[in-house]
Structure 1
């Protein structure tokens, strides 16, 4: 079981001019009990949105940190880089995401679905992700899929790609993708992710 926290940060001009201002946050988290790995990258579709992915040992470790004074201290460190409230997605993924996060581009497919269609959506995302990784050379896996802890109606799929265009070409006119848009509200974005600290 792999626990991921995806934090989407609306970046300040100060961060855009100097991304190193977020380094104290990354360093503080690196030393936090329960944090295994972390990655960071700016969204392709909107450079003012920064994706920060944290792998935790467990929900308990994350919850313990969130309830500690260290969490407040971390939020204070984030302020120079953040132009508003970050969005949090915490999930248990079915496969480790090292491969997709190490790809040149990581796809984040965030689906919002009603309870009656959730099982169908998860099944469709699993089969679609596996099919793309198996059949498309520019796609990296294994696909990582999980339900968002903060919202039972949200599911996130992570896939890796050589380029954004490679992803768009691979799913163009795909019947499975068309079905996704029928049963769920889908937001698909991309970001080149860098591991911290660098290997």
Structure 2
């Protein structure tokens, strides 16, 4: 069994520019610039299926380590070109976070619909108790109706803030997630418990993988 540390996911969330909404390939020059960069394992693009947030897009880059991504950001020759190309896709509300999830994200990212939840600990909330409830939730989801099809779910703390976390899970559809939350036999009680410790915002989107990958496992 491998004891290698889990990879770091760069999560970039933003509203699509008008040009990007017209041409979904506008990200490709950016990806081609960084193809083969040390430690870059996979790149995914996400398109929102939330009616209230239809223009949201996601870029999810899987890095072997945070330092690998930092080496790109510190490169004075390549990174300005990355920002210039990527800037054509951005229409506002841009947020980038780095998360080392506790379990594989491969299942979620190969699901028909991906759920990401951004969680912020409430003031005075017990961090250890919160994480314990999250782990209980992950374990329960492996056998619960609707959620077990795309388990495991996983969560992790952001590098940017000790009180900020991200959850990732996969579903057959957004409605399957909503039905599972509403079902007392599903994940309802766990969601309520977690809500005592943290506020959260939930996003749903479909994903596709950009067509390159290094051979290292994740």
User: What TM-score results when the alignment is normalised by the length of structure 2?
Assistant: 0.85
5+ long unaligned stretches in structure 2: 1-5, 214-218
1: CA distance, partners of 2:15 / 2:33: 20
Structure 1 equivalent of residue 216 of structure 2: none
Higher Rg of the two aligned structures = 2
Query: Quick one: structure 1 residues 53 and 154, their matched pair in 2 at CA, closer, same or farther if it must change by over 3 Å?
Result: same
Structure 2 equivalent of residue 196 of structure 1: 210
Could you say what the CA RMSD is over the residues aligned between the two structures, in angstroms? 1.8
2: CA distance, partners of 1:22 / 1:115: 41
Structure 2 equivalent of residue 48 of structure 1: 55
Structure 2 equivalent of residue 7 of structure 1: 12
User: What TM-score results when the alignment is normalised by the length of structure 1?
Assistant: 0.92
Q: Where in structure 2 are the equivalents of 1:19-98 lying within 5 Å?
A: 19-45=24-50, 46-69=53-76, 70-84=78-92, 86-98=94-106
**3-state SS, counterpart of residue 49 of structure 2:** coil
Q: Give the number of the structure whose residues are more often helix, by fraction.
A: 1
- Kindly provide the CA deviation profile for residues 134-158 of structure 1, in whole angstroms up to 9, marking residues without a partner as x: 2224541222211011111111110
Q: Which runs of 4+ in 1 moved over 6 A?
A: none
Say if 1:129 and 1:159, in contact at 8 Å, map to a contact too: no
Q: Give the number of the structure whose residues are more often strand, by fraction.
A: 1
